[in-house]
Amino acid sequence: MPKYMTKQRKAFLEFLSEHSDEQLSVKQIAVALEDRNISLSAVYRNLSALEEDGKIRRVSKSGSREVYYQYIGDEHCRDCLHLSCEKCGKTFHMGVSGAETLIKNVALAENFAVDKSNTVLYGICKACQKK
% of the chain exceeding 90 in pLDDT? 27
CA distance linking residue 55 with residue 16, whole number of Å: 10
Model confidence over 13-72: pLDDT tens digits?
889 988 887 888 999 999 999 998 899 999 999 999 888 888 888 887 767 788 888 888
* Torsion over CA: 16, 3, 60, 126 (sign): negative
Residues 109-126, mean pLDDT to the nearest whole number: 87
Sequence-separated contacts (24+) of 13-16 with Cβ below 8 Å = 13/73, 16/50, 16/56, 16/71, 16/73
Spatial contact of 46 and 82, defined as CB atoms under 8 Å apart: no
Spatial contact of 49 and 6, defined as CB atoms under 8 Å apart: no
